[in-house]
Structure 1
Amino acid sequence: MSHTAHIPSHRKPRLSTAKNVLRAGVAGGVLSTIAVAGAAGSANAAEPVTETTIQMPTLSAAQVAEATEQAATDLQQQAQQDTAAQDAAKAAKKAKTDAVHKAEAKKKAEAKAKAEAEAKKKAEAAALQRASRSSARTTLNAVPASSVSNIGGSSSSSSSQATGSAASIVSFVKSHIGDAYVMGGTGSSSWDCSGLVQAAYKNIGVDLPRVSQGQSTAGTQVSLSNLQPGDILYWGSAGSAYHVAIYVGGGQFVGAQNPSSGVVERPLSYDQPTGAVRVL
């Protein structure tokens, strides 16, 4: 054998550089995949993932009918509830209106009761005045007739003794005896008490206040024992008289008395006046 004969080497042949790089890359990728898989496995072991599958139920015809009927029932109940709510609202509104009406009725009733009480009070006051007048008439009737005939200083025919303006006043009021009494009346055929007196004086060119209160202070106050035809008689107090008339002589007066009597001539004893004023 030659000394130069080929002796096989016990070392493995070298891989090329490209193959080494390729192997290293594949090994690295495998190791990375294993690492990721291991981490994912640990995470999955800590928090298990539950997957839910939603499956839509299949309804039968009976179930559909039942659902429809239930929906209709619900709608009907809702409608009934709405109707009940509306009825309750109407009832509440009506109750409120009724309460207002009752309050108004109560207020009117109280006002009516108050008015009736005032009317009763006035009626009682008028009754007292009438009683006072009646007492005065009784006292006057107790006086001898001769004394009565001398009131005003004249006889029963003293109206014929009135002269001048006084005679005109007496003639005017006597010409309207029988005319109607009308509250606020100023002629020519209907009068109230002060309207007739004012017209009688206006007939001679004398202007008097329109109402009895003013007429009772329009002249000089005179005593009832010293009356003259044409004097203004008043009932009540001077400045607040509630009735007036004209003294015509002979113990008589003419005045618009009331709606039932109208304009009349009466003796002083019929309704004794409180006082008198003389304008002329």
Structure 2
Amino acid sequence: MSQTAHIPSHRKPRRGASKLAFRAGVAGGVFSTIAVAGAAAPANAEPVTETTLEMPTLGSLDADLAGAVSASAEASQQEALDQHLAAQEKAALEKAAKDAKKAKAEADRKAEAEKAEKARAEARERASRTAERTSLSTSSYSASDSGSSSSSRVATGSAAAIVAFARAQVGDAYVSGGTGPNSWDCSGLVQAAYRQAGIDLPRVSSSQSSMGTSVSLSDLQPGDILYWGSRSGSYHVAIYVGGGKYVGAQNPSTGVVERDMDWDPPSGAVRIL
């Protein structure tokens, strides 16, 4: 065994080949620069004052590199955080817009329902306001037209409800195909009036005039349906309200009106009640 085998080595670890090459290159470059400068100087030139150049050490270069890497990592982390926050903000805005759209649709639906209910309530209120007045009005018509047997009859019960509803719509517009609450055609008004008495009539005038029993125009009762044309092919209907008068949705020019029988004499009448 060698006599020095037991003695541990105290030599410093060898530097990496890349670090040694880098230092050699830096030193060689410096010495070459100094040598060239000396050779180029003229013989009688003044002595050049020696200048000591302080070269960057490997430690400072490593520190600069580590700082740059750290700054790049922080920038990447900040960019990722910004993108995450932007995605969260976009999702929140989209959810808010969706919730607002849903709330608006629900509000519109409720508004339409309230509007329809209000219209129905107004129609019921108008019918109620005129219910009592109808009986008195019919009585006064009977007194003024006492010569006619049909004009002396007063609407009662279901007939009173039908007459009251019809008169409550006077002044509403005429619209072809209209079924209320504020616009009607002739058969739409008759159908709605009879619904107040719990009676469902067909939708069109020719079918309505085919219902019930045919009665003479000299023996009319309030609530009877008047028709124009043939009974099975009528083109217009109205409601007899007593006192020699009827209520009907006439045309777009007049709307719903109350007229004397002789203003436009009907062709016939039917009784449903």
TM interval, short-chain normalised: 0.3 to 0.5
Which of the two has higher C-alpha Rg?
1
Q: What TM-score do you get using the length of structure 1 for normalisation?
A: 0.45
Q: What TM-score do you get using the length of structure 2 for normalisation?
A: 0.46
